[in-house]
Structure 1
Amino acid sequence: MISLIALTNPQISLAQTRPNSRPTPTNRPAPARPTARNVVQAYFDDITKRGSSGVAYWCSSSSDFVSTFYAPRAYRILSSSIYGNGGSFVVQLEASNRGGSPVIANWNVYVDKEKSREAAKKPWLPGGYCIKLISEVR
């Protein structure tokens, strides 16, 4: 006898159904692992929605390269390339300049794993990823 549940639930295969047994789900999604993209989203969410400078998201080795934005309002990740321990992203940022005029620009955002073990444990650095460098797309 084949259970009706097995026929209507794509997560349960027919091989799992046996007479007088309850089918069990397969292919349960694994818990999401932090990714380089997570730190980019967290950084831009913080600066656009919470008014933060975002400095806490930068890698400790990049302290000389920290960039901040004046009055950022919204962002969109346009593209990404993930590699080894990091990735690069192109992010479109809507902001205002000091005079209040709207500015929309695309930025290259480079992400890496934090080298400092202590800094990598910070809860706002998902998976130990951090912002390594941000430069305007030219």
Structure 2
Amino acid sequence: MLTKKLASAIAIGFLLFGCAPSAQKPITQAAIAPPQNTTLSPVPTTATIIPVDTSVFDNALSTAIGASTISRTAQSDIDRELVVNKWEEAIALMKSVPPSDKNYAMAQKKIIEYRKNLSTSLQKPKPTIEKSSEPSNIKLVPVNTTNAQNDISEVMNSYIQLVLSGEKGDKYFCSPEDVSTFFAPRSAKVLNIGDEYTSAGGGRGAYVTVQMESSNKGGSPIINNWKFVMQKSKGTWCIGTIFDH
């Protein structure tokens, strides 16, 4: 009897404790990192530089036009030197035109043309001397002609030496308005001293022919004869006018 009761108690205990639900462990979820903002780097681009196709032939033409334009108004040595440099630059550019260029044949013709222009630019213009006609109503005076020629010769030789040294020689002119200058004279000599004359107004004068050798910037010699009109003022011979003989 006792055994049955014990068995019943065990069975009831088994039912009470055996069927109790087991404690469930909480489920731990893995931490999920929030999405990060991704910054996209810009794709580097390579700039394409398109070279400007500048024609050497066109540059040469432009330079030549500049030389021609400046030469029309050139007055000073600086202006003329700029013209020379422009022509030389234009020639150099034309020479650099390759045979494959469509303008090659024309460039060869332009080289010849520009060389002529360069040669002209290198020639120094003659001194700007107002040409005057020979005095009219001249009466030759044979008396004391030799003495006058000696005095004039002394004045002219002193003037020539001063001019060849690089001076103007303005002190030998009768007035400042009569002063004329020569460019880079190399040598000069008196060819002839004419007879003394008197004008209708009673003034005394004489002609002197002088051969002057100078040069242009290119070094080419320029030889020209000049006629000096000598006048006697206050007892001294001076240069009144110079004109191309």
Residue aligning to 1:41:
157
Residue aligning to 1:100:
219
For residues 238 and 209 of structure 2, what CA distance do their matches in structure 1 show? 16
For residues 65 and 97 of structure 1, what CA distance do their matches in structure 2 show? 24
Residue aligning to 1:59:
174
Deviations 1:46-91 (A, max 9, x none): 111x22111111002xx33321001111112111212143311111
- Amino acid in structure 1 at the alignment position of 2:182: F
Runs of 4 or more above 2 Å deviation: 97-101
RCO comparison, higher one (Cα < 8 Å, 6+):
1
Could you say what secondary structure the match of 2:195 adopts?
A: strand
Give the count of matched residue pairs: 92
> TM-score, structure 1 length as denominator?
0.58
- Amino acid in structure 1 at the alignment position of 2:159: Y
Asked if residue 82 in structure 1 is aligned to residue 190 in structure 2, the reply is: no
| Cα RMSD after superposing both structures | 2.1
- Amino acid in structure 2 at the alignment position of 1:110: V
Structure 2, unaligned runs of 5 or more = 1-146, 198-203
In the TM superposition, what are the counterparts of 1:1-138 in structure 2 within 5 Å?
Answer: 35-48=151-164, 50-60=165-175, 63-84=176-197, 85-114=204-233, 117=234, 128-137=236-245
Provide the identity percentage.
36
Could you say what secondary structure the match of 1:82 adopts?
A: coil
Give the structure with the higher percent helix.
Answer: 2
Give the structure with the higher percent strand.
Answer: 1
Structure 1, unaligned runs of 5 or more = 1-31, 118-126
For residues 95 and 56 of structure 1, what CA distance do their matches in structure 2 show? 22
- Amino acid in structure 2 at the alignment position of 1:40: M
Which structure would you say has the larger Rg?
2
